[in-house]
Amino acid sequence: MSEHAALLDVAREAVAKATEIVRSRPRFSVSAKGDRDLVTDVDTAVEDALREFLTAETPEIGVLGEERGRSGDGGGRWWALDPIDGTANFARGIPLCGISLALVDGEHSAVAAIALPYLGVTYTAARGEGAFANGERVGASNATELPEAMIAVGDFAIGRLAEEKNETRLRLLSDLGARAQKIRMLGTAAIDLAWVADGKLDAALILSNNPWDTMAGVLLVREAGGAVIDHDGSEHTVGSSSTIAVAAGLRKEIVDALDRAHAVVR
């Protein structure tokens, strides 16, 4: 068994453990951790459990979690963990949320697992091995024209410089909303990206790049035959400012729309 295959087994087991925790906690507390930014005690319970599990299974690899920050020295390799991506949905009983876990090696992801605990699906990928949903291979869509494209757009910015950042989002929504088949805002980057990999969405435009939110989904999309780029069209890395996942046939049209949206703000 290759190292990536072995580490994918670890990731798959980790998100299965997380799913059990999420589904076993019908009652939970909700608190604010910033401007319109929520956390529940299930988020922290999942992260603590997975951090302990990953550290025991792979002590040579560091961990970066959304709620507890970074621990360990992985020498360029680290697990990027979002214990519940879509916390606002979860807190309101909306079943669109997921556990996102990626092994980041250098600038890119090598292993990914995204579990959707209320939808009964786990997406997995290892570099060079394809993308899978519950063990069945998935592929990005073949869309080539915007009028046939369903596009997810990430949440509006909050906190510092939110107004300026959201001008770009509003321009982008106006542009694509006039031409795409449908625009969706699902409230979870993990699902946005997993569903681009699965061909359910034709593009996901996330104008931010928190590694715990995006790095698992980025690998899934690439392994499914889609493209993932920064807002300027350059190839996406862990240091990118945006995460733009798109069916390969729509890449130019999406990059052009992003250029127009950013040019107006500049």
Distance CA 245, CA 164 (A): 23
235 annotated as a binding-site residue: no
Burial class of residue 55, CB neighbours in 10 A (0-12, 13-18, 19+): middle
Residue 160, by phi and psi: left (phi above 0), alpha (psi -120 to 50) or beta? beta
136 annotated as a binding-site residue: no
Give Cα 148 to chain centroid, integer Å.
23
Distance CA 72, CA 59 (A): 8
202 annotated as a binding-site residue: no
82 annotated as a binding-site residue: yes
Distance CA 246, CA 151 (A): 9
213 annotated as a binding-site residue: yes
The answer to whether 94 and 67 are in contact (CB under 8 A) is no
Quick one: tokens of 128? 């060079």
Annotated binding-site residue numbers for Mg(2+) = 66, 82, 84-85, 213
Annotated binding-site residue numbers = 66, 82, 84-85, 213
